[in-house]
Chains A and B, each alone.
Chain A
């Protein structure tokens, strides 16, 4: 009988390096308590509380970024390196934007706001751990944590069948994918004898003591890599594992869709990079071919399927698939520039994609069919303050300079060319051209086709005097030219500003992204 003596050797610094996660976890519990003990309607209270918690977590992450964090903490299971922190920024910003736009949605859909925010924080916690995990076990626990929260959130509008369907579909398919991932992790452990990503990488590099030299050519390693690839590909919606995405995005409450479309992918890609590009970098030849094929399939299918969509949330789902393809191109480059491109891409994507969802979420609360593209007809003429930022998001998603989307894509593709993968870039560029068609069709509907109700006005205006304000017939709905609620205003213009500023002065953030990649590469002993 062996008596293991465990030395509790966890310092305060160890806890400090998971401070952002601890803040989120504490906040989640606090929100549940508030939900139980504070009587009455408390949407405002819980919203503010959630935003404050997110801001505190952001500040804690920023502090860790500033100090450089700990390379490995809590027995090497998590890290607070700059790479994790950089992804935390994307996750926290997207969560904050999603929370900011939730109150209107909550009141129209009659949610229970306490649970809702607690679940969002639960998902954030899972995502942040995902980005920080250095051990296969932590990665899996984090994945389950974020997935469970998101299953419930997708089905949160329990009186709306589509939302129920979304939650159920997501649950069934996604747990299947989790199983794949877990199986892959298990095989990887079997081959290398460790769950630590760093130990796995040293083992595969052949430096580890007691690690079989045949590990790199073991068939189990191939199978394990394949299974993990399926698991990751499912979670970040890569073709052909993308089928759930449009249905879930369409059915889930829009703020939830906004949040999960960006933050989940950011967290999963952080882990994807840590596992594949870092830990398994010595066996790149095992997985590069599969990644190459997935990238091409994702870009082609995502963009072509998006062409046929008439529902904005489905369009954004396919557009998200397409963007996952571009990110995969950067990842396939497997060099420092490519990995910083991925990190930067998510920051850019946070602003432009969530911005587009803010637009949809707001229109849904006004009682229109807010996710039907046809209903945006002439919206510029009714509500320019809403249409202009949306145009910015569409141009940014399509990759026009001077927007964040252009720059992110530029760096991603440039990294791939630098690594010699011109074929991927050519496909990426051609499919981007396809994407211009559907993104600009949305803009065309909003700007180029005046709404029927705005057309006839009795008095012809003399040419010398431009009409100050367009007249709206009295018969039209009273919501025609509304003042936007302040939270939508803040949300949409923050996103718009982010989408433009990141395109004009990306230098600072790109430097941050490459610093974060330097940190994680150093951790795994890569140049």
Chain B
């Protein structure tokens, strides 16, 4: 059984959740672009501060208490005839993802203020809507509410990718939407079925879904229905085909949201829903999912190795790392799960940083292809050194963020199946290889072309150098202060998590312990609910 409390006494989670939409609606009524920018940025930053406040206030359970607790919960009746309530709150995993999401959305919205010039107001409004949808996915304690937010993410995404995307945006958008909807519609059938079996869609509470698992036979099917949705969003091999196109065609601020946060929603779905709701099915499918994840992480890493489009290199790197996270989740032990959640944070930061670097390079060279680059570091040292930090973090240098996460994942995998760990760990070599190749071919070596010779794409009005097709006027010099400002919080976090991952794991672990107990024993200690 999972329980929900609210020590604060007022619905802070709901405030965090709805603030961006409210700000978006205000922006809708305002025509002045400066004011709109200010409101959007302010809303994102206030949300970030509130989320950090929540992170600090989050009460760590004592050593003796076992149980899965949602804190700062806020519950209202909604449509009780069909088991639907408005119920939000955070556990140790979602509090971290809420903070992460509000950080990444702040970075993305800040980036949008100077990277998107074309219909900027609408872009910012959609980003704010997207933020609420993403936060909603993380804070819902009712399955229906979760599904509503999960699907609602798609609507702003559709426009953000489709209107502001690059040349093949229409194709990428349709592919993205159809893949995602395929998964989520089957999940909907699963939700109907769960409701017809249990009569509720609440997660927590004595009558909630966690306390009343469905029969083993049903679990196997429901696991597939839910798992497909999460696998597509993550994206787990072989359901990843939408991701490279969508990542490549996305405008950068949306890409930070997409690769940085939306993909975490899939992994979060596994942790929050698949494992606790279908414990015995998780065991049945564990080997299959792990093998898919191993294939995926190696396959995507190999593809990253051969790309010439730098945006694609990062896209495949992202997919590879997301598969590693799924591998960590399906260790079904607390070590692997801790590592997976920690790695979600690291992945989000590193991938966003790398995509930012890609955008900065693009804004200066007008191309994304390796053959047009080389020797950029000589001309733009700031760009090179800051980019280098992300490259090092991407190849898991000890002392930087992702090292701790990956070690934990592989420890977890090793405990389950040593062969999986050995084969999976090959990715470390591949990651180092493609990261260094990426860095060297862009920053080091002889200067390939000067800025004047760069093939200039068609001019388009209302575009910035960061967007496709670029303006003829590229950015001539090294990183601008605004660009550095986007890098700074990410780099600080990478270093901080590298030194002190305990800040995160001490929150993750108390939530993952009961979840693993649930998965491995079928019920939580101290509560009667059987399998």
> Is B170 located at the chain interface by the 8 A CB criterion?
yes
> Is A395 located at the chain interface by the 8 A CB criterion?
yes
What DSSP secondary structure best describes chain A's contact surface? helix
Enumerate A382-439 residues with CB–CB distance to B below 8 Å: 395, 400-402, 406, 410-411, 413-414, 417-418, 422, 425-426, 429-430, 432-433, 436-437
From A406, A460, A465, A511, contact of B471 by CB (8 A):
A460
Enumerate B196-224 residues with CB–CB distance to A below 8 Å: 196
Interfacial chain B residues near A6, Cβ < 8 Å: none
Closest to B472 in A: A460
Q: Are A417 and B79 in contact (CB under 8 A)?
A: no
Closest to B32 in A: A468
From A429, A470, A506, A510, contact of B185 by CB (8 A):
A429
Q: Are A444 and B195 in contact (CB under 8 A)?
A: no
For the complex, count residues of B whose C-beta is within 8 A of A: 48
Q: Are B188 and A463 in contact (CB under 8 A)?
A: no
Interface centre among B79, B193, B195 (most CB of A within 10 A): B79
Interfacial chain A residues near B173, Cβ < 8 Å: 444, 448
Q: Are B188 and A429 in contact (CB under 8 A)?
A: yes
Interface membership of chain A positions 246-278, coded 1 if the CB is closer than 8 angstroms to chain B and 0 otherwise: 000000000000000000000000000000000
Q: Are A433 and B182 in contact (CB under 8 A)?
A: yes
- A395 with B189, Cβ < 8 A, contacts A465-B117, A466-B117 known: no
Q: Are A463 and B79 in contact (CB under 8 A)?
A: no
Q: Are B33 and A436 in contact (CB under 8 A)?
A: no
> Is B407 located at the chain interface by the 8 A CB criterion?
no
Interface membership of chain B positions 20-55, coded 1 if the CB is closer than 8 angstroms to chain A and 0 otherwise: 000000000000010000000000000000000000
Q: Are A443 and B158 in contact (CB under 8 A)?
A: yes
From A422, A448, A459, A470, contact of B189 by CB (8 A):
A422
Q: Are A447 and B162 in contact (CB under 8 A)?
A: yes
Q: Are A448 and B170 in contact (CB under 8 A)?
A: yes
Q: Are B151 and A400 in contact (CB under 8 A)?
A: yes
From A430, A447, A510, contact of B79 by CB (8 A):
A510
- CB proximity of A194 to chain B, nearest CB, Å: 35
- CB proximity of A440 to chain B, nearest CB, Å: 6
Q: Are A402 and B185 in contact (CB under 8 A)?
A: no
What DSSP secondary structure best describes chain B's contact surface? helix
> Is A11 located at the chain interface by the 8 A CB criterion?
no
Interface membership of chain B positions 112-150, coded 1 if the CB is closer than 8 angstroms to chain A and 0 otherwise: 001001111100000000000000000000000001110
- Complex: how many Å from CA A193 to CA B120? 70
Q: Are B117 and A463 in contact (CB under 8 A)?
A: yes
- Complex: how many Å from CA A408 to CA B470? 44
Enumerate A458-509 residues with CB–CB distance to B below 8 Å: 459-461, 463-468, 470, 506-507
- CB proximity of A477 to chain B, nearest CB, Å: 20
- Complex: how many Å from CA A437 to CA B120? 28
Q: Are B154 and A400 in contact (CB under 8 A)?
A: yes
Interfacial chain B residues near A506, Cβ < 8 Å: 79
Q: Are B118 and A466 in contact (CB under 8 A)?
A: yes
> Is B303 located at the chain interface by the 8 A CB criterion?
no
Q: Are B170 and A460 in contact (CB under 8 A)?
A: no
Question: What is the size category of the interface that chain A forms with chain B?
Answer: 35 or more
Q: Are B473 and A444 in contact (CB under 8 A)?
A: no
Q: Are B461 and A514 in contact (CB under 8 A)?
A: no
Closest to B33 in A: A466
Interfacial chain B residues near A208, Cβ < 8 Å: none
Interface membership of chain B positions 441-475, coded 1 if the CB is closer than 8 angstroms to chain A and 0 otherwise: 00000000000000000011111110000011100
- Complex: how many Å from CA A433 to CA B159? 19
Q: Are A422 and B193 in contact (CB under 8 A)?
A: yes
- CB proximity of A463 to chain B, nearest CB, Å: 4
- CB proximity of A432 to chain B, nearest CB, Å: 6
> Is A449 located at the chain interface by the 8 A CB criterion?
yes
Q: Are A440 and B177 in contact (CB under 8 A)?
A: yes
Closest to B470 in A: A463
Q: Are A414 and B118 in contact (CB under 8 A)?
A: no
Interfacial chain A residues near B461, Cβ < 8 Å: 457, 459-461, 467
> Is B397 located at the chain interface by the 8 A CB criterion?
no
Q: Are A413 and B185 in contact (CB under 8 A)?
A: no
- CB proximity of A515 to chain B, nearest CB, Å: 11
Q: Are B163 and A447 in contact (CB under 8 A)?
A: yes
- Complex: how many Å from CA A229 to CA B477? 75
- Complex: how many Å from CA A430 to CA B182? 8
- Complex: how many Å from CA A505 to CA B69? 29
Q: Which residues from chain A sit less than 8 Å from chain B, CB to CB?
A: 337, 380, 395, 400-402, 406, 410-411, 413-414, 417-418, 422, 425-426, 429-430, 432-433, 436-437, 440-441, 443-444, 447-449, 455, 457, 459-461, 463-468, 470, 506-507, 510-511, 514
Q: Would you mind naming 10 contact pairs between A and B with Cβ atoms under 8 Å apart?
A: A410-B188, A414-B192, A414-B196, A417-B196, A426-B189, A436-B181, A444-B173, A466-B33, A467-B117, A506-B79
List the 10 closest pairs (A to B, CB-CB), nearest first: A463-B464, A417-B192, A448-B162, A401-B148, A457-B461, A466-B117, A466-B120, A429-B185, A448-B170, A401-B151
Q: A422-B189, A441-B174 are in contact. List 16 more A-B contacts (CB 8 A).
A: A337-B81, A395-B155, A413-B192, A433-B182, A436-B177, A447-B162, A448-B162, A448-B173, A460-B471, A463-B465, A463-B471, A466-B119, A466-B462, A510-B81, A511-B81, A514-B81
